[in-house]
Structure 1
Amino acid sequence: MKDDDLNFDKRHIWHPYTSMTHPLPTYPVVSADGYELILTDGRRLIDGMSSWWAAIHGYNHPMINQALHTQINQMSHVMFGGITHPPAIELCRRLISIMPVGLECVFLADSGSVAVEVAIKMALQYWQARGEQRFEILALRQSYHGDTYGAMAVGDPKNSMHDMYQNYLPSNRFLHIPTRRFGENWSKNDALSFSQLFFDHHKKIAAVIMEPIVQGVGGMHFYHPEYLRLIRMLCNQYDILLIADEIATGFGRTGKWLACNHADIIPDILCLGKALTGGMMTLSATLTFRHIAETISQSKAGCFMHGPTFMANPLACAAANASLSLLKDNSWRQCVETIAVHLSSGLAHLSLHPNVKDVRVLGAIGVVEMIQEINISQIQRWFVEHGVWIRPFRNLIYLIPPYIISKEALMILIDTISGALNQPENFIS
């Protein structure tokens, strides 16, 4: 890759959450293998981000590669309206068999944000079909569910990346985030405020949407499973649908197959994405119960009103089937447990650092919350110079490495974070 390419990129290509006038630096990756990203100059970076939660098997996995080679020689894409194909059938059959019992109707889309849009539309169309005027979605403060219109509307309206759009978005209700953290003792007092909200507004609420246990971009909070369990109970009591956004947490990231498993609950609608294909390419799935699908199908519309052009793309389905095959033997569980042990022991001492507010670990997720805001461009440069790829945001440095990462590589990530904390230029005073 030449300097001319990078200059073109800087001038013409809009990267996510980046200014066109003052862009953050970009680093040219020409290949990736295992848990490493290879830059154009040959440097190798240990990946601590799994390409935003997705690449759980690492990069360039031969089994997923072979599945794509086989599929592309047969059919790379075909419309899904009026047509079906073996990769989609196999994937849906697999998902139904490994997800909670009863979630047996599957809608395949092309991104996590779209999976959330689909879930919200399912909930709204379900109540419309039942003749009830329920148009509100109840969500959590400091939540994040994606960047499309409906997904933004259920993200925190004041403390999210979408606050500038709040005057244009549908108005929804929000619950305060739980005060009890994962692993702490539960207090029944934590349930009082949201119990009253359900009582007061349940006739208007179509669904509750939650990131189970882990709030991601909203602040990397890990909340108490009892909170999720009580929300499920209140949804049952007031006949409200529960949507679980497991796009980031699904497929073992928190140490359980689904984060919902920590609370032993089953949602009415489940959103999956990111790691569904092992990070090979984009695909999402929204699963629901048959009675919800049938109620929607028996409405005046006669069908569910959604249909992306690239839904159920055969290549993406083939990648997902290969990824699920890799997860089938449950070896992921030991990998995640091992990562959790090393993250816990390796990051613990950072809680004593004067500029660290908190350190927390759950499964293959490690978070260092700083008191100061991070100088993103500077710390990113520092990480790359020290051979790692870590992308913080706001005041959070976090690790979500591929499950296949070695202990040695993980310790390098941890030690590099430790070193970064002692560089004043990495933070905004």
Structure 2
Amino acid sequence: MDPSEIAAIDAAHIWHPYAEPGQFTYPVASASGVRLTLSDGTELIDAMSSWWSAVHGHSNPRLVAAAKEQIDRMSHVMFGGLTHEPAALLTRRLLELTGDAFSQVFYSDSGSVAVEVAMKMALQYARGCGHPERTRFLTWRSGYHGDTFATMSVCDPVGGMHAMWGPALAQQIFAPAPPVMGARPSEREAYLEQFALLIDASVAAVIIEPVVQGAGGMRFHDPQLVAGVRDLCAAAGIPLIADEIATGFGRSGRLFTTLGNGVVPDILCVGKALTGGFMSLAATLATEEIARGMQPAALMHGPTFMANPLACAVAAESLAIIAEGGWERQVKGVEAELVRGLEPLRGAPGVADVRVLGAIGVVEMARDVPMRAATEAAMAEGVWIRPFGRLIYTMPPYICTADEVAQICRGIAAAVRVSGEEIS
């Protein structure tokens, strides 16, 4: 199909995330390694890992081989009453990577659904514990957990992307946004004291994005804060749900931001990098205590494509790559280059903050970024980014070389310059 025909159909008929029909898009012809090739031949480094998922790069040969082998055997079979080797293999690898902290795994189609499932688990656990009155969730502001209705209810109700839905959503309990990374111990203690006061008789569980808050603002906080929340949940006898869909499998420099910092949540949500960005799959893991305490014992959820064999086969191979351990050296290298390339932007016109953690680099502007101008400034440097709100950021594939990360930083610098000019 001719690129102009693709663009015309897209502009006339296709919705894109958080965008009105007809807004600017760029047709992609192929993707390999860390690069996207547009229909006009332009090559761009995918500095977003295609929304934080393609950690091993695009068209990774091992993932392609796993997909080809599985598709010849069985691409899909219902999971109701049936099972298969890819699901069993993936489950074993997931439990091993999480240090056997969990006993049960539920597979779903997306991160949003994984969080919905976690919330159902918590509600069924409350029933099983004899507390049907526990129907609400406690979280903190600046969070994001997905776009489905239950998940929207635990996203930031004012500054988040779902504020317009407020009256239609379940009313949850929100603590202030957590103090940022590097906060004094006294600040963390004061915050936790305030957080504890919000755990009332209606709370079924606490749900947070540990250490890194993603689409709600790309904010970082100290692991000690997560440990403090863990202690509060234990004292109150309620589950802690950790949404590690963005951070799981090494993105922050730890394999998981909870387990890697000595915190074991009761329920863990993973996705995005689970398949190395090859296709959609997510998982919700629960401890034995949660699984045994749920009433009814059957989890009341069942996606049509649950544990899709093709996705499970690719995910199992993706986790095999992770288990080999190369990610740790890769992420440390990316982190060092991001610090080197982005730190000089601190103090540039319009820049409010610069922060880096693992393979995450963020430049926060004083005001909202002109998305198209900033995007195309980065593209002129051969880099694909997707700014939002006041944030110009990158979550590159782990396999990026030092030169490629340096190019990403040049692209971000170009976006910052354009944005700074508009802001000033």
The TM tier, using the shorter chain, reads: over 0.9
1:391 aligned partner: 386
Q: How does 1:25-104 map to 2 (within 5 A)?
A: 25-104=24-103
- State how far apart, in whole Å, the 2-side matches of 1:176 and 1:33 are: 42
Q: Which amino acid aligns with 2:288?
A: R
For 1:63-82, what per-residue CA distance to the aligned partner results, in whole angstroms no more than 9, with x for missing partners?
10000000000000000000
- Does 2:327 align with 1:328? no
**Contact 1:378/1:426 (<8 A) preserved:** no
- Give the secondary structure class of the aligned counterpart of 1:401: coil
For 1:211-269, what per-residue CA distance to the aligned partner results, in whole angstroms no more than 9, with x for missing partners?
01000111110011111111011111111110000000000000000011453200000
**Runs of 5+ in structure 1 lacking a partner?**
none
Deviation at 1:302, TM superposition (A): 4.5
- Give the secondary structure class of the aligned counterpart of 1:294: helix
Deviation at 1:4, TM superposition (A): 2.1
Deviation at 1:420, TM superposition (A): 2.8
2:173 aligned partner: 173
- State how far apart, in whole Å, the 2-side matches of 1:424 and 1:102 are: 45
**Contact 1:123/1:206 (<8 A) preserved:** yes
- State how far apart, in whole Å, the 1-side matches of 2:416 and 2:187 are: 37
1:141 aligned partner: 141
- Structure 1 vs Structure 2: percent identity of aligned residues? 46
1:305 aligned partner: 300
**Which sits farther off after the overlay, 123-132 or 271-280?**
123-132
Q: How does 1:3-402 map to 2 (within 5 A)?
A: 3-20=4-21, 23-132=22-131, 133-179=133-179, 181-182=180-181, 184-199=182-197, 201-261=199-259, 263-296=261-294, 299=295, 301-402=296-397
Q: Which amino acid aligns with 1:74?
A: R
For 1:93-149, what per-residue CA distance to the aligned partner results, in whole angstroms no more than 9, with x for missing partners?
111111143311000111000000000000011111222110110011010000001
Deviation at 1:3, TM superposition (A): 1.1
- State how far apart, in whole Å, the 2-side matches of 1:122 and 1:66 are: 35
- State how far apart, in whole Å, the 1-side matches of 2:187 and 2:220 are: 19
- State how far apart, in whole Å, the 1-side matches of 2:224 and 2:19 are: 38
Deviation at 1:303, TM superposition (A): 1.5
Q: 1:424 to 1:238 in 2, by over 3 A?
A: closer
- State how far apart, in whole Å, the 1-side matches of 2:392 and 2:5 are: 32
- State how far apart, in whole Å, the 2-side matches of 1:261 and 1:129 are: 26
**Contact 1:77/1:315 (<8 A) preserved:** yes
- Does 2:417 align with 1:417? no
Q: 1:100 to 1:157 in 2, by over 3 A?
A: farther
Q: 1:193 to 1:368 in 2, by over 3 A?
A: closer
Q: 1:235 to 1:6 in 2, by over 3 A?
A: same
**Contact 2:377/2:414 (<8 A) preserved:** no
- State how far apart, in whole Å, the 2-side matches of 1:362 and 1:352 are: 19
Q: Which amino acid aligns with 2:176?
A: H
Q: 1:354 to 1:377 in 2, by over 3 A?
A: closer
- State how far apart, in whole Å, the 2-side matches of 1:129 and 1:10 are: 50
- Give the secondary structure class of the aligned counterpart of 1:116: helix
Deviation at 1:386, TM superposition (A): 2.6
Q: Which amino acid aligns with 2:224?
A: E
**Contact 2:36/2:44 (<8 A) preserved:** yes
Deviation at 1:368, TM superposition (A): 0.4
- Give the secondary structure class of the aligned counterpart of 1:287: strand
- State how far apart, in whole Å, the 2-side matches of 1:256 and 1:167 are: 38
Displaced runs of 4 or more, over 6 A: none
Q: Which amino acid aligns with 1:94?
A: R
Q: CA RMSD in A?
A: 1.5
**Contact 2:381/2:410 (<8 A) preserved:** no
**Which sits farther off after the overlay, 135-144 or 190-199?**
190-199
Number of residue pairs the alignment of both structures matches: 422
